Chains A and B, each alone.
Chain A
Amino acid sequence: MPTVTYRDALNQALREEMQRDGEVFLMGEEVGVYQGAYKVSRGLLEEFGPLRVVDTPITELGFAGVGIGAAMAGLRPVIEFMTWNFSLLAVDQIVNSAAKMLYMSGGQYPIPIVFRGPGGAALQLAAQHSQAFDSWYAHIPGLKVAAPATPADAKGLLKAAIRDDNPIVFIEGEMLYNMKGEVPDGEHVVPLGTAEVKRAGADVTLVCYSKTVAASLKAAELLAADDIDAEVLDLRTIRPLDIERLIASVAKTNRCVVAEEGWEFCGVGAQVVDYLQREAFDSLDAPVLRVTQADAPMPYARNLERAAKPSAERVVAAAKRVCYTE
């Protein structure tokens, strides 16, 4: 199986889906001539031309709405946000138009659209460029939210997202774009709503997604040195959430830590904990703990930023607490 970067895996997914379906097009800031702010769309303008790879003005609300309108007319847009931080300007269109159109039209207007781009923090980009809005979008009925952690999942989930008839919030990671991994050539589709055990274990479940998967895998190695056998469960899709695999894993390990990039309050982990206390109460041998970003805007200073982010060390500490080894 070829080894490719997360960036190129996304590029493969876009290219293959655009080749497969003439109604799929890519629109966003710098996606064409510039080849993508993070080069995810490299080469697509040359292959598909300016009608299907559309550079926009810096006008997030506007082009998000244009994408949704195009979807109402039957096209299948992929709208790139240079980063999800800028999507705040487009929230009205994502929430009020994309997420609700099918419902408030009594089923007449599905919105098959993908909004994609990197979310969460990179390195020292400070408060306005380092935000994870995963839980904001996952809160909204009508949206699906995917956040792949590996190159193979990036490709497979993006292909599934483009083929889905619903609005998809697709959250990538700037810090993941250079990650390399094995990616199947050609047809490789990962169904939305399926979590995956990235490392099997018996003592504690580390629930994670996107960038916290790498942190959790590293944490699992560190825990192994202390004879704690951690299972790493990558949610891959936040909404719909794979409750079945979540419950199954915790039923096996009886202990759980949830790691996410966003803030703690009303975060994705809060929803995971809610499912666990309702559906797996009798399986739990300890309270579920969460590892999140510090409850503060992201600081610039390197040391403070490091302290603010979820890390393998913090996952290890939480795992040891739920295993009552500390």
Chain B
Amino acid sequence: MATDTRASTRAQTDKAAEQLAFFRRMLEIRRFEERAAEAYATGGIGGFCHLYIGQEAVAVGSLAALRPDDYVISSYREHGLALARGMSMRAAMAELFGRSTGCSQGKGGSMHLFDSSLNFLGGHGIVAGQIPLAAGVAFAIRYRGGDQAVVCFFGEAAVNNGAFHEAMNMAALWKLPMVFLCENNRYGMGTALERASAIVDIVERACSYDMAAEIVDGMDVWAVQAATARAVARARSRSHPTFLEVRTYRFMGHSMSDPLHGVYRTREEVEEHQRRDPIAALAEELRASGVADEEALEAIDAEVKAAVEDAVEFAEESPEPGPEALLTDIYAE
């Protein structure tokens, strides 16, 4: 009994540590994105900037199920994924600012965060373009007889694109060790899912390829973690792909030029989804279980905000790429 109690206590401690870690990571993404929006408004960040606010549980839950030698690849809404994978806020923010200290040396920007040390294979700017690439990485794993997995992130609008179907077919045909993780945030830019897809339950797309699939609550970080862990286990042990439809919601506009709810959705709809804010839900869980009180959570928030400010200062103080960078890395030597 004593052993059981100790084991149980340890499990509780581990769980509490994980709850706190997930809370902090999700909050890091939220505060990072809020600060990026500010910097965009004041001109520090240019170009396109697609925020992840509202979807934090997807990044944090799913990537917690991976090993460091697994691979992650994404669309252009990837700030949160990069941070959840372990990219420093400094490297990510400096990239958004177009500085030489950025993760892609200032040459990629918001849509093209890369970090080969994290097997973070980038944000990609053409809808669905990264999906065949992910299948290729999975092909390479199988080629070498490895047991890693690839998780490929894309939005629900990508499932109407040929690249998605071509990759799904080959992954199922060749039994590639990968997870197709569809972040269904309900809108492809301003077009609602129902207005773009003949099938509204995206998960049914997997039936065409006889692929294992699940619907996952993307506002519940634990549900995302568990579903991803199941999918990754299937990839590792049997080299089978899985399709996950993770239902989430984007609290902000499509990009910085799109107002909060735009003309394509109502304020009421946005507010209704905000009531299921994944960070607020985890905060409530922490308070209810007695792991952290309000004061402790606010202390975490203060630390996170300070880290984000540090990242902004780092970015602002970092040099722009030198003029020679214009013509480097076009060809490998």
Contacts and interface: CB of A to CB of B under 8 A. Distances in A.
A47 interface: no
B167 interface: yes
Contact of A103 (B103, B107, B134, B167): B107
Given A62-B167, A69-B140, A142-B331, A106 B114 contact: yes
Interface in B210-234: none
A64 B140 CA distance: 14
A70 B166 contact: no
Contact of A142 (B129, B142, B167, B330): B330
Interface in B115-144: 115-116, 121-122, 124-126, 129, 131-143
Given A62-B135, A65-B131, A51 B332 contact: no
Which of B107, B114, B166 gathers most chain A CB within 10 Å?
Answer: B166
Given A96-B129, A108-B104, A108-B115, A65 B71 contact: no
Contact of B135 (A69, A97, A103, A165): A69
Contacts of B169: 57, 59, 62
Contacts, number: 140
Interface in A56-107: 56-57, 59, 61-75, 77, 92-93, 96-97, 101-107
A66 B163 CA distance: 11
A72 B121 contact: yes
A105 B114 contact: yes
Nearest to B109: A104
A110 interface: yes
A297 interface: no
B188 interface: no
A65 B133 contact: yes
A65 B168 CA distance: 12
Interface string B90-126: 0000000000001111111000101110000110111
Given A67-B136, A75-B140, A104 B332 contact: no
Contacts of B107: 103-104, 106
B330 A141 contact: yes
Interface size on B, as a range, is 35 or more
Contact of B139 (A70, A101, A110, A165): A70
B324 interface: no
B329 A102 contact: yes
A73 B135 CA distance: 11
A281 interface: no
Interface size on A, as a range, is 35 or more
B289 interface: no
Which of A59, A67, A68, A73 gathers most chain B CB within 10 Å?
Answer: A73
A101 B112 CA distance: 9
B333 to A, nearest CB: 8
Contacts of B328: 107
A131 interface: no
A18 to B, nearest CB: 13
B332 A72 contact: no
B170 interface: yes
Nearest to B106: A106
A69 B105 contact: no
A109 interface: yes
A65 B167 contact: yes
A93 B129 contact: yes
Nearest to B145: A51
B114 A109 contact: yes
Contacts of A165: 332-333
B21 interface: no
B162 A68 contact: no
Contact of B129 (A70, A92, A103): A92
Given A25-B143, A73-B137, A64 B132 contact: yes
A105 B117 CA distance: 12
Interface in B36-88: 71, 73
A56 B106 CA distance: 37
Contacts of A64: 132
Contact of A105 (B112, B125, B135, B333): B112
B299 interface: no
Contact of B112 (A62, A75, A104): A104
B200 interface: no
Contacts of B108: 104-106
Contacts of A108: 104, 114-116
A135 interface: no
B330 A62 contact: no
A62 B122 contact: no
B173 interface: yes
A166 interface: yes
A93 B332 contact: no
Given A65-B135, A69-B135, A59 B105 contact: no
Given A62-B163, A92-B126, A70 B332 contact: no
A101 B133 CA distance: 11
A72 B136 contact: yes
The 6 closest A-B pairs by CB, nearest first: A69-B136, A65-B132, A62-B166, A106-B105, A73-B140, A69-B133
Interface of B: 71, 73, 102-108, 112, 114-116, 121-122, 124-126, 129, 131-143, 162-163, 166-167, 169-170, 173, 328-333
Given A62-B167, A66-B132, A72-B136, 12 more contacts: A70-B136, A70-B143, A73-B136, A73-B137, A77-B136, A96-B125, A103-B107, A104-B112, A105-B116, A108-B115, A108-B116, A141-B330
10 contacts: A62-B132, A62-B163, A62-B167, A63-B166, A65-B132, A65-B133, A72-B133, A73-B140, A93-B129, A105-B122
